[in-house]
Structure 1
Amino acid sequence: MKMVMMFMVMMMVSESSMIDQTCKETPDFNLCVSLLNSDPRGSSADTSGLALILVDKIKVLATKTLHEINGLYKKRPELKQALGECSRRYKTILNADVPEAIEAISKGVPKFGEDGVIDAGVEASVCEEGFKGKSPLTSLTKSMQKISNVTRAIVRMLL
């Protein structure tokens, strides 16, 4: 019984250290650890698996942001043009960038995965700039930029 407990503790330490070691190589250690520990797949994932988890987080955030944009159309009609641009940008993240990253990472072609992840951050930045400093989406776009930067760092480890 003691042997089984020791093995389980050692496994938890090694799982945690894989996430910790990987996240130390990213621009935001705390965000990285938080995102990966919040997903049950993180505890047993290799570097590719960790990257895919983060791409899933990009997808979830893009979906959430798109829902927010759709709600703002009614509440803030004066922002219709900027919201329309953001809607197109976030649809690009969901329909092009995320699938490209998932396919590339899954097939062992991380360079193209990196391109998709980088583009997600760029799309969020361009969306934010369209409001000329008066964006109701700032916290969501900043989150997308941060998650994209962390994901990119992990994808680069696969190159």
Structure 2
Amino acid sequence: MGSTGLLFLFLLMSLLQLFHPQLVLVSGDYDLIQKTCRSTKYYDLCISSLKSDPNSPNADTKGLAMIMVGIGEANATAISSYLSSQLVGSANDSSMKKILKECVNRYNYSSDALQASLQALTMEAYDYAYVHVIAAADYPNACRNSFKRCPRLPYPPELGPREDVLKHLCDVVLGIIDLLDW
């Protein structure tokens, strides 16, 4: 192939990267993502979450764990925001308002715990990262228990699936942390 052919090939590859950046995912990087996700409890959630982040193809295992922690943290924050929006509709019910405030706090604690796990991952303190992720997954239980203490108030059906996603994201993070050298 002459220099003109190489130049054409280079230009073609550059244009493909410019217009279709998702094509840049090299099989080695995708293999790492698949291998990493196979070690988790929720393979499909892991794959779809990591594919949604443009930094995943370039990340090592620790980086993939950090990306998943960020996704979990965003999820916990979104649930807290959702619950805060529900407070407006419960202005006349002081018990519901109290429980919702408690739930908002619990999901904020979950987000804080995930932030702490991110810091621990950065310092390669994997045991601490693991403990923080376990705590983040457990905070939603305190919210659910608040509703159990007040039987006249049903647990909001919209909250259950959101809670499950956060717990599953945490399980994925734990599976990835297990792969890291302690």
Pick the TM interval, shorter chain: 0.7 to 0.9
User: 1:46 is matched with which residue: 60, 65, 72?
Assistant: 60
Q: Is the 8 A contact 2:73 2:115 kept in 1?
A: no
Cα RMSD for the two superposed structures: 2.2
Cα distance, 1:118 vs. partner?
Answer: 0.8
Which residues of structure 1 form unaligned runs of 5+?
none
Which residues of structure 2 form unaligned runs of 5+?
1-5, 18-22, 149-153
Cα distance, 1:42 vs. partner?
Answer: 0.5
Cα distance, 1:131 vs. partner?
Answer: 2.3
User: 1:147 is matched with which residue: 155, 169, 173?
Assistant: 169
Q: Which residue of the partner structure matches residue 98 of structure 2?
A: 81
Cα distance, 1:10 vs. partner?
Answer: 9.7
**Separation in 2 of the partners of 1:11 and 1:142?**
30
Q: Which residue of the partner structure matches residue 104 of structure 1?
A: 120
Q: Is the 8 A contact 2:25 2:57 kept in 1?
A: no
Q: Which residue of the partner structure matches residue 85 of structure 2?
A: 71
Please, what TM-score do these two structures have when normalized by structure 2? 0.77
Q: Establish whether residue 34 from structure 1 lines up as the match of residue 55 from structure 2.
A: no
Please, what TM-score do these two structures have when normalized by structure 1? 0.88
Q: Which has the larger radius of gyration?
A: 2
Q: Which residue of the partner structure matches residue 93 of structure 1?
A: 110
**Separation in 1 of the partners of 2:87 and 2:159?**
12
**Separation in 2 of the partners of 1:70 and 1:52?**
27
**Separation in 1 of the partners of 2:87 and 2:24?**
52
**Separation in 2 of the partners of 1:154 and 1:28?**
11
